[in-house]
Chain A
Amino acid sequence: MLDTVAKKSDYKVVGTRPIRPDGVDKVTGRARFGADLNLPGQLVGRVLRSPHPHARLVSIDVSAAAALDGVKAIVTREDFADQPPELTAAGEMMLNYRDVVRNVLAREKVLYEGHAIAAVAAISAAIARKALRLIRVDYEILPHVTDVVAAMAPDAPLLDEAMITAGVTPTPTTPSNIAKRVDFGHGDIDTGFAQADVIVEREFRTESVHQGYIEPQACVANVAEDGQAELFVTTQGQWIVRGHCAKLLGWNVNRIKVTAAEMGGGFGGKTVVYLEPLALALSAKARRPVKMVMTREEVLKATGPTSAARVRVKVGAKKDGRITAAFAECAYGAGAFAGSPAGGGAMCAFAPYELEHVATIGLDVLTNRPKVSAYRAPGAPIAAFAVESVLDEIARTIGVDPIDLRLKNAAKVGTRSTYGPTFAAIGFVELLQAAKAHPHYSAPLPAGQGRGVAAGFWFNVGGDTAVQLTLNEDASVTLTAGTPDVGGLRASLGMMVSEELGIPLDKIRTQIGDTASLAYNFVTGGSRSTFASGMASVEAARAMVKELAARAAKIWDIPVDAVKFEDGMLKPAGDNAGKYEPMSIRDIARQMAKTGGPIVGYATLNAQGAAPGLAFHIVDTQTDPETGKTTILRYTALQDVGRAIHPAFVEGQMQGGVAQGIGWALNEEYVYGADGRMQNAGFLDYRVPVASDLPMIDTVMVEVPNPRHPYGVKGVGEAPIVPPMAAIANAVARGAGVRFTQLPMSPPRVLAALSGQGAR
């Protein structure tokens, strides 16, 4: 395998599997999640939500609720100033403050069932509930549209009567629900299709699926009499919560100190604000702490799932498997406000491949559903479901092994990607070779079972990051990072610092800082936290080593560059070699005061050089022909992981992505009635997989280190959710004989399809 960073065998700590520092608290229940903080005098905040999918808000009368004993504050649209259009990054997607203020509390219209209208803070949940029932809302009901294809029809009800599709020339003259069109690609697909021996063209549909984090949105806000505010919240990004809340409230950001709780899952969904500005506004009014926790129904109806979509794909290939042309159109539902991940889908659709003629289109479509938010590799899994299914059909049609087909077209270092940039680091070929050599791929398959494969791509990102290392007087080290830990980050950062400083891991305590303790950090998202906070931690450690060397130089009275750091010891070097007894970090720590005061290592950076993540999955399925139920029998997930700092956590990310992908493939979906209301807003009928639904998910980490990271790290958290839907659909096509172009492949749908196609 490539090794441009440092040989794995050179590491003492990186690549091992120590116990995670947050593990004990989590298994004993001591860890504090978003809803676990309670403050003296705290009020209960509750939200009034729209029962209608689309209506004009004629009036909101809170007078009866306000008069109720025990109600301490109420907020409505009147309490938030309108915001002009202004785009800002939230996780991996863009937000428009004009929309954020409308999503937090509806203004002119309610745009989906569950849209927040007012919030109440009261001395008990029972009183808060009663108060909500006393709020009188006058609605003028409007026709609604929840289906993404129906929403694109010329006569569809309009969510935003003034919306003109951006990205189309000439500029359309009539409004529509299509907010934006984006185009990617190169070459000329007509030329490419003319060269093809075989062309497969299909249309795919997917339903909205939710991130399904077990911990609902929750926060406690406490605004003091002088206006200083604290917010304890479950979030993937303390700083973006601070920024969004300050913007909506018209406050300076430094008035709010945001502390990120331990997180019970986020997967991209905890990169936006819902309750937080309401809790702060209620607390500011009531002058008491306000705690707000969503119910599961609220989570499903009012927080971002990912898009429902229609994807059209057309691929042409030569008989030998060489793809001559590829086209995809990704129409993704955005929910109530513009900003679906259609662009991500269009960019990732063919990204693993080197193509001469390729064109992809993304369409961002408004529907009367909750505004989508990021969900692991936003947009990519939907596009991959479509593209990788079509590639499977091509492979079968021309009689080529599906891995060979992909090898023949695989992107390499130097390939111009289908979305523009040229790949500097990409391990797709190594990954495909590992998959082909894996025993699963060649294992005999009993009759009735099907084996499917699929690839997945995700960009991964870097971004703003700050880390602080403090050397304590006993030579232990405190590492403060600003990206919330969603999958073992604290252990991984500690391990890299341990490797750098030669200090044992148990002498390094890693914590996630609040917004007052560090400079700005962008969210944990885009698979960036180990990459970017790792890069900053290493830089901070190296800065600390520099300072340690300066202190040693001072003690020995030799020039700084005559001190070297080796095996955790400071040694005189060059002419001075052997002249002084080497000093440990502990020796320096003891003399901190005498040599210049406390020692820190600090790093702030905008992390560059993130390398794409590629995943390749192999799955065996069996479909019961009488019930339509598909069982996942064997699953192997392979991934180019760069370098696995803590392999168990990397495997955990891979297995988690697969588990969520299996749910997406087989059972998860938003079910809407003709009334535009969600029918299955609970975990009984919104079916995420349970443990017994899943086989052991085998993982193979292919390590192609990222040359632009000191430890070779690539993001690993998102790529693994990209291939499962296509891999499973491909397995079902081969095993049950029916090709599914619609998700989920739930038993009723599969049975209908099986009986529709007759004996086979």
Chain B
Amino acid sequence: MRYEAPDRIEKAVDLLASAAGEARVLAGGTDLIVQMKSEIVEPDLVIDVKRIAEMRGVVEEGGAFRIGAAVSGAELKEHPRLRKVWPGVIEAANLIGSTQVQGRATLGGNLCNASPAADSVPALIAAGAKVIIAGPAGRRELAVEDVVLGPRKTALAKGEIVVAFVLPKRVPLAADAYLRFIPRTEMDIAVVGCGVDLTLDPAGKIIAARMGLGAVAARPLLVGEAGAAIIGSSLDEPALARLEAAARAACRPIDDKRGTKEFRVQIAGVLARRVVHIAYERAKASAKVST
């Protein structure tokens, strides 16, 4: 096995595009190295992207954030602005693993590992995040919800690398939140993950809503109907009931050792209700703190 650690994107793309056997990008390695140790993947070439400066920083550009794909969860948490403006994305990223795992796990790895249950992905979907992709044919952008196609399958072509995530500029009275259900309290895989982003008008009415759901289908989902269900409401009971129903209707889960279908569907509705309340309170409170 060959190990390379280039310091430029172009070099990494070249290596990846021209590799003869199986080549893998290495970010934090908390998925990849585990898979290599358990002989699920046996790459001939491993390309460590942690020396590429563009992938390692967080920049605020006119209110939008550009987060390098190889920034660790622990670094994200320490960013003073990010956790105020996007508390849902940050809490999702920081649910990954444990303190030790946090020191290495990245958003890029969480997305590109293409697990239906990845925690940061539904939050990024709700946030309306886009990814910047570099490849042999140059750069392109993709919405986060379009990256994962199914378990271990992404829309990345051979030679393509996710360089960064872009979180859009915030309007006032807006906030996000993420909740997941696991049987334990940490070090577990989501049975359901639910992210939501809300924008309110000054009267407290929801004027925009996006919801992402994880672990309920072959890939993380953007649930348009769930967002639509609460737009125009202030989370009154009929709106919540519509939301719950939309979240449940979006689920296409499998029965497996991690929970029955019925259980996942049930929990999706419960989490949807719980998470919108959190986001709603945060959005209201955001009027008081200037973003």
Contacts and interface: CB of A to CB of B under 8 A. Distances in A.
Contact of B185 (A628, A671, A692, A751): A692
A748 B259 CA distance: 6
Contact of B267 (A129, A627, A667, A680): A627
A747 interface: yes
A684 interface: yes
Interface in A742-757: 746-748, 751-752
Interface string B250-291: 000000111110110011001000000000000000000000
Interface in B117-148: none
A690 B256 contact: no
A680 B183 contact: no
A685 B186 contact: no
B181 A627 contact: yes
A629 B181 CA distance: 9
Contacts of B39: 129
B129 to A, nearest CB: 27
A746 B184 CA distance: 10
A693 B263 contact: no
A295 interface: yes
B270 A689 contact: no
A83 B259 CA distance: 44
Given A747-B263, A752-B263, A693 B258 contact: no
B38 interface: yes
Contacts of A693: 184-185
A313 B38 CA distance: 44
A124 interface: no
A125 to B, nearest CB: 10
A542 B277 CA distance: 71
Nearest to B256: A679
Highest count of chain B CB atoms <10 Å: which of A667, A684, A689: A684
A687 interface: yes
Contacts of B270: 626-627
B4 interface: no
Contacts of B187: 690
Given A295-B38, A748-B263, A685 B258 contact: yes
B188 interface: yes
Contacts of B263: 628, 747-748, 751-752
Contacts of A748: 259-260, 263
Contacts of A747: 181, 183, 191, 259, 263
B102 to A, nearest CB: 14
Contacts of B262: 752
Interface residues of B, number: 21
A692 B184 CA distance: 8
Nearest to A679: B257
Contact of B186 (A129, A626, A690): A690
Interface string A268-305: 00000000000000000000000000010100000000
Interface in A678-712: 679-680, 684-685, 687, 689-690, 692-693
Interface string B230-259: 000000000000000000000000001111
A288 B260 CA distance: 50
Contacts of B183: 629, 666-667, 687, 746-747
Highest count of chain A CB atoms <10 Å: which of B185, B256, B260: B185
Interface string A651-689: 000000000000000110001000000011000110101
A522 to B, nearest CB: 37
Contacts of B38: 295, 297
A333 B260 CA distance: 25
B30 to A, nearest CB: 12
Interface in A711-760: 746-748, 751-752
A693 B187 CA distance: 10
Contacts of A666: 183
Nearest to B191: A747
A476 to B, nearest CB: 40
Contacts of B257: 671, 679-680, 685
B135 to A, nearest CB: 32
Nearest to A755: B266
B229 interface: no
A684 B189 contact: yes
A198 B8 CA distance: 79
Contacts of A752: 260, 262-263
B179 to A, nearest CB: 11
A298 B189 CA distance: 22
Nearest to A125: B39
Contacts of B184: 667, 687, 689-690, 692-693
A629 B258 CA distance: 14
Contacts of B267: 627
B221 to A, nearest CB: 20
A626 B257 CA distance: 20
Interface in B149-205: 181, 183-189, 191
A129 B191 CA distance: 34
B42 to A, nearest CB: 9
Contacts of A667: 183-184
Interface string A626-658: 111100000000000000000000000000000
Interface string A108-151: 00000000000000000000010000000000000000000000
A687 B259 CA distance: 13
Nearest to B259: A748
Highest count of chain B CB atoms <10 Å: which of A628, A666, A689: A628
B40 to A, nearest CB: 11
Given A626-B270, A671-B257, A690 B185 contact: yes
A295 B183 CA distance: 24
A627 B186 CA distance: 16
A692 B186 CA distance: 7
Interface string A206-225: 00000000000000000000
A628 B267 CA distance: 10
Contacts of A671: 257
A129 B262 CA distance: 40
B272 to A, nearest CB: 12
Contacts of A628: 263
B263 to A, nearest CB: 4
A629 B189 CA distance: 15
A685 B262 CA distance: 19
Nearest to B37: A295
Contacts of A689: 184
A689 B39 CA distance: 26
Contacts of A687: 183-184, 188
B277 to A, nearest CB: 13
Nearest to A684: B189
Nearest to A686: B257
Contacts of A690: 184-188
A685 B258 CA distance: 7
A628 to B, nearest CB: 8
B36 to A, nearest CB: 12
B34 to A, nearest CB: 10
A679 B267 CA distance: 22
Contacts of B181: 627, 629, 747
Nearest to B266: A751
A46 to B, nearest CB: 11
Contacts of B191: 747
- By Cβ-Cβ distance, the 6 closest A-B pairs, closest first, are A748-B263, A692-B185, A679-B257, A671-B257, A626-B270, A680-B257
11 contacts: A295-B38, A627-B270, A628-B263, A667-B183, A671-B257, A685-B189, A690-B187, A692-B186, A693-B185, A747-B263, A752-B260
Interface of A: 129, 295, 297, 626-629, 666-667, 671, 679-680, 684-685, 687, 689-690, 692-693, 746-748, 751-752
Given A687-B188, A690-B184, A752-B262, 20 more contacts: A129-B39, A297-B38, A627-B270, A629-B181, A667-B183, A667-B184, A679-B256, A684-B188, A685-B258, A687-B184, A689-B184, A690-B185, A746-B183, A747-B181, A747-B263, A748-B259, A748-B263, A751-B266, A752-B260, A752-B263
